[in-house]
Structure 1
């Protein structure tokens, strides 16, 4: 007979839950557009009653009230019907004017758009501009010497991004319009969170919370994007990584032969080693997970520091180097570390594979990445529910509802490991000033109180959902008062496929994973281009 020991110790994460999607609105959960629309309806109703008399005026008023109420009151997927009408009309207008389709103007590549998509000319060769060997990145006084930047040829507003190379080889993407700088790190986790004990998971989560607070507290940080991308890498690339890990493994001296033996690969189990090698040699591509962290810095907020560091782009890069060091030192305690900061070419490779998933195998075999000028798509088209590029179609979702009951540690892994199909999960962290966050919380509470007073006067019954909103606001205030970092979190998921059938199958797996995580997914209708850029590319652009 065996006895099962149950751990009755309480956990600091007991009762942890996320607030519902905000629906307080201006009044009764309605936004300003709804209030204005219904206000216009009320004016028309009064005019009908006064001018039409009885019974014609009352009938006209009743019909007007029905029409305005049916259009102005309903909310679908968190948005009012009026907002959806505006989104659909905007999408149709862009389609009629051809603004939903993108062709690079400066690529120098001949393209022909036919009924089945796009055909590229076979003479596509992009060569990096030559750089002098004496370009060390700094002058004799130690100041950064910015080299000529490359331009990312991307759809719409994203084409303004310029990519510089900083001392040490890291890329610095600069947006001269938004006045933002972006640095991107390749990150890795050296522990398996799902295989650890609950106590160890708690420890890592506590360390990660501290790391988030530290990064959010770095001067000038606007947004942080943390992403995990399930992609396809060549079998040869995985084999090279495996052989490198063997060569880096610990060694021991065989007491019988006196030879030095590596404690990995064939020395441990020749059969399994050879089986893995044969499988990787035969495999064209295998699903792997790539992780990155994009840190977006504000040039405006860092103006004084940039001025003292050398002004202009030179001073901005010096400031970015300091922020990068702070990020590197904040992560290790949580089991996460910065492997490297992406160079311009490796950053361009990430962007390129986002638009062209079919090229993942080929690009993974290149050690030097992709030229910045060739990172963007040769063709892209935006529609109401999808974004298409280079023969692939993409659909982006937003996690609109997080677990409403007890949230399990690591629940987002259900999205990351939802299946062996191309998808990217991006978590955005937007720091907020604690004082401003508390004031926003107070205003939301005041709005809730006003709505509750109006509901009482009109005799409307209080619902549990309405009461839960106040609980969420009180919980947020309590957490801010306890010293938690004021962060606004957004989670986006992009699924990529090469046919509608493949897309439907992958989305079905994703929705099943969302149900297991007790979350709700929402398609970003009418915003697929911006949503794709936010979720699938490492540029930290959250413009939705």
Structure 2
């Protein structure tokens, strides 16, 4: 039996300018120093000197302080934007049911508003994002549980998954990919159908017990659903689109071709992927905003009816039709070497409605090499500056240097580079229930060796990125 595969995540890279400080921090330090020196040496009146020293203190706090897990300068920007949105009454969204509705257009809040679901002859449904020039396809992934396989099969699947992700970097055709795993309410119809097909006699003792279990447990049941999506960069495939006749019809033909390639990758990884059609996409979107819709959706759902009727955003959570939501971002992945199943405490946490999204953005090889060399220069400059001012080198500094060097080495060897972000959206029926669920999720995240931060001032953008498999939100 082979040893379990493991990997170590690199430390998050920072775009520093001097001694690990970002450009805005350096600017604030310069302003503070100039203000304090001017106040002390210019011979100003006492009131002016006090004002100058106050500016120095404010600059220092803004440059080095932290509020709610964020650098103070970033927190100030978000708080200001949040206050301005409140003054403009842009914190709430209400669907305009009386306005004429265009076929397929999704009436979504924020930057996702121009999205529309295409109704084509293809069996694959697609979401068109005209703002970013993308066409998005979504597949529902099903397969045997990873933890139930033997170690050799687990290693084979992990290797196949790695090849699929590496393939994203070989061209600029794929703008983004996303893996979304969520728990959604299950009306329990499957349990009832099982009993009816077997002619269960409810008058018998066993039948009565089973009926009581259905009445109490089925409405609270939840099921897991895994979605994979990729966004086709229409600018990068413009030549191929013209070969198929141009327009959205040509783009759909290219999308079909890319989806077949992913289908092969799914099979190699031991899972099956069924591409969602337009109706399935609409239902998936509706459930994201309104989890209770799993018990009320009957028949086909028109895409124009899939969007939420109401969204109210606050500083650290938002409310949609039937639920309250709060979004977390993974700020740091495990520092220790992690196995492929390290997310199990989070993904298998029972009794909590949550969505975990991993958004992957391939980086072109040329740009990745330039970034790696730039970070290498930054590390060398920082090392020389620390030596010049007599600052000791820490183990974290040495680890960052090793990560940057390893990244450049991997890129030079032909490996691709992917930027990823992990997001967790927690949902509950009440605000108190949301607080309790968030506490449970924070504990589960710590068991998975993740550092997570509650998003503030960006809940709508975060929810669009975490709960919708369309690759929108947060940049």
TM-score (norm 1): 0.79
Other-structure match for 1:434: 365
1:179-213 Cα offsets, whole Å, 9 max, x none, are 11111111112x22112233322221111111222
Q: How big is the shift at 1:157?
A: 2.3
Measure the CA separation in 1 of the matches of 2:180 and 2:285: 13
Compared with structure 1, are the counterparts of its residues 57 and 159 closer, same or farther at alpha carbon in structure 2 (3 Å cutoff)?
A: closer
User: What is aligned with 1:306?
Assistant: 241
Match of residue 462 from structure 1: 393
Query: Quick one: structure 1 residues 297 and 272, their matched pair in 2 at CA, closer, same or farther if it must change by over 3 Å?
Result: farther
From the superposition, tell whether residues 62 and 327 of structure 1 become closer, same or farther in structure 2 (CA, over 3 Å): same
Asked if residue 220 in structure 1 is aligned to residue 173 in structure 2, the reply is: yes
1:222 Cα offset (Å): 0.6
Report the equivalent of 1:347.
Answer: 281
- The 8 Å contact of residues 28 and 60 in structure 2, kept in 1 or not, is answered as no
Quote the offset at 1:31 in angstroms: 2.2
Q: 1:98 to 1:226 in 2, by over 3 A?
A: same
Query: Aligned equivalents of 2:473 and 2:411: distance in 1?
Result: 24
Q: Which aligned pairs between 1:353-432 and structure 2 lie closer than 5 A?
A: 353-363=287-297, 366-368=298-300, 370-432=301-363
**Partners of 2:81 and 2:129 in 1: how far apart?**
26
Q: Given that residues 170 and 364 in structure 2 are in contact (C-alpha distance below 8 angstroms), is that contact kept between their aligned partners in structure 1?
A: no
Q: Higher RCO, 1 or 2 (CA under 8 Å, sep at least 6)?
A: 2
Indicate conservation of the 8 Å contact 1:434/1:480, yes or no: yes
Q: Secondary structure at the match of 2:242?
A: helix
Match of 1:140 in 2: none
Structure of larger gyration radius: 1
What is the SS of the residue equivalent to 1:228? strand
Query: What is the deviation of 1:361?
Result: 1.9
1:97 to 85, 88, 100: 88
Question: Do residues 231 (structure 1) and 221 (structure 2) align?
Answer: no
Q: CA separation in 1, counterparts of 2:19 and 2:460?
A: 32
1:134 alignment partner in structure 2: none
Instruction: Name the counterpart of 2:27.
Output: 36
Deviation at 1:167, TM superposition (A): 2.5
Query: What is the aligned length?
Result: 470
Shift of 1:520: 0.7
Aligned to 1:188: 142
Give the superposition deviation at 1:463.
Answer: 2.2
Pair 1:171 & 2:105 matched = no
Q: For structure 1, list consecutive stretches of 5 or more residues without a partner in the other structure.
A: 1-6, 110-125, 130-147, 247-263
| Alpha-carbon RMSD | 3.1
Give CA-to-partner distance per residue, 1:15-59, whole Å, 9 cap, x none.
x21122223522223222222222223333343344228999998
Q: Residue 155 in 1 paired to residue 109 in 2?
A: yes
The alpha-carbon deviation at position 478 of structure 1 amounts to 3.4
Provide the secondary structure at the position in 2 that maps to 1:425: strand
1-structure distance, mates of 2:208, 2:36: 81
* CA drift at 1:279: 4.4
Query: 2: CA distance between counterparts of 1:67 and 1:436?
Result: 37
Greater alpha carbon shift after TM alignment, 350-359 vs 480-489: 480-489
> Conserved in 2, the CA contact under 8 Å of 1:218 and 1:326?
no
Q: Can you give the 5+ residue segments of structure 2 that lack an aligned partner in the other structure?
A: none
Give me the TM-score of the superposition, normalised by structure 2: 0.90
1:478-517 matched pairs, under 5 angstroms: 478-517=409-448
**Cα offset for 1:543?**
2.5
Shift of 1:371: 1.3
Answer whether contact 2:31 2:56 (CA < 8 A) is retained: no
The answer on 1:26 being equivalent to 2:26 is no
